[in-house]
Structure 1
Amino acid sequence: MRLLRAADFVPMPWANGRGVTVEMLRVEGPSGLLFRLSRASVVEDGPFSIFPGVERVLTVISGPGFDLLGERRLRCDPLAPVAFPGDEALAASGVRGPSRRPERDVGPRAAGAGGERAQGGGDRGRNGLRGGAGGSGGERRGAGPG
């Protein structure tokens, strides 16, 4: 067993340029991303980065939570996982304070192996997953939700 410390993780700027994610684990396959585990903080309203072909699941672990708004509204409450496709245009809204959130991202080949893709409508719950329960990178150094 290997103990990992903060210095072992890779801080990465968000694709939208408004913050920093700490990537804790990344698995690549021949066609690109298979799996990624990261953490970040949402500290202000703003757009989430677009990741085509990636299934994202985030869970607020501390802080008040926030809404994700686009063609639909997803509520990100503490300890309630929220799933959504990475190519869905969403923006954090109603941010009242920092919300720390780990995130699990699954690439297109791995996504078919488990979990369901979140889509609007149907019998999906408020967090984008069937039944309404859920099942998504370091500390923020810049601004915006990532």
Structure 2
Amino acid sequence: MTALRLLRAHDYRRMAWKNGGGITTEIARSAGDDEFDWRISIAEIAQDGDFSIFPGIDRELMLLDGGGVELLIGDDAAVALTQRYQKHAFPGEAPVSCRLLDGPTRDFNVMVRRGRYAAELLARPIVGAQLLFPAAATSWIVHVAQGHAVVNHHAELPRIEAGETLVIDFAQSGGAPLVLNGGGELVLVKLTRPG
């Protein structure tokens, strides 16, 4: 059995960063008010500053819009995200600050609790069919960054427009893949629970 849940902009939650330094639009998260095993959001960065600390969380940030952002992570060399869909992973307990390179940015943010979930973050154009294969203990978060998408053989689901998100939970492996068609660009997150 595959569970599908369509999330629209009015389903998302806007909130201040934990450290008060910015705004996050939370798209989806695992159950729990304060603690989460996974969380998907879009951050609006309007000024240079520090990121919130999330001990025990693995994070990955992908540039969606804007002139780029430079990440300073602990004692590591600075990492510049200057191209749309460029991404970088880092531990949530590391001290991270950012410097905007050319004005505000919007960034896709994936957080998973280490040891409970693993995440794979991808950006894909919708050119022809996009196939998502069922696998046990796997969920897909499909965010339409631009354009639209349609899930084949699921007439109950309306067309998924830009800014909307489809959450797909696969209960078991095998079976037919879920087929997405349309035109535009997707940000995909594959969430897996270790075995």
- Both structures adopt the same fold (TM-score exceeding 0.5): yes
* 2:97 is the alignment partner of 1:91: yes
SS state of the match for residue 82, structure 1? Answer: strand
- Alpha carbons of structure 1 residues 27 and 2: separation in structure 2 relative to 1, 3 Å: closer
SS state of the match for residue 115, structure 2? Answer: helix
Aligned to 1:62: 65
Aligned to 1:4: 7
Of 17, 21, 31, the residue aligned with 1:14 is: 17
* 2:46 is the alignment partner of 1:71: no
Aligned-residue Cα RMSD (Å) equals 2.2
Q: CA deviation at 1:45?
A: 0.8
Q: CA deviation at 1:96?
A: 2.1
SS state of the match for residue 7, structure 1? Answer: helix
Say whether the 8 Å CA contact 1:67–1:75 is kept in structure 2.
yes
Runs of 4+ in 1 over 3 A off after TM superposition: none
Using CA pairs below 8 Å that are at least 6 residues apart, which structure has the higher relative contact order? 1
- Alpha carbons of structure 1 residues 71 and 13: separation in structure 2 relative to 1, 3 Å: same
Letter in 1 for 2:11: D
Please give the TM-score of this superposition, normalised by the length of structure 1. 0.68
- Alpha carbons of structure 1 residues 71 and 27: separation in structure 2 relative to 1, 3 Å: same
| 5+ residue gaps, structure 2 | 121-195
Q: CA deviation at 1:114?
A: 5.5
- Tell me which protein shows more strand as a share of its residues: 2
| CA–CA separation in structure 1 for the residues paired with 2:79 and 2:93 | 15
SS state of the match for residue 110, structure 2? Answer: strand
| 5+ residue gaps, structure 1 | 116-146
Number of equivalenced pairs: 113
Say whether the 8 Å CA contact 1:45–1:95 is kept in structure 2.
no
| CA–CA separation in structure 1 for the residues paired with 2:96 and 2:24 | 18
Say whether the 8 Å CA contact 2:60–2:90 is kept in structure 1.
yes
From the CA coordinates, give the structure whose radius of gyration is larger.
Answer: 2
| CA–CA separation in structure 1 for the residues paired with 2:111 and 2:119 | 12
Say whether the 8 Å CA contact 1:43–1:95 is kept in structure 2.
no
* 2:106 is the alignment partner of 1:100: yes
Please give the TM-score of this superposition, normalised by the length of structure 2. 0.52
Aligned to 1:131: none
* 2:87 is the alignment partner of 1:81: yes
Say whether the 8 Å CA contact 2:17–2:52 is kept in structure 1.
yes
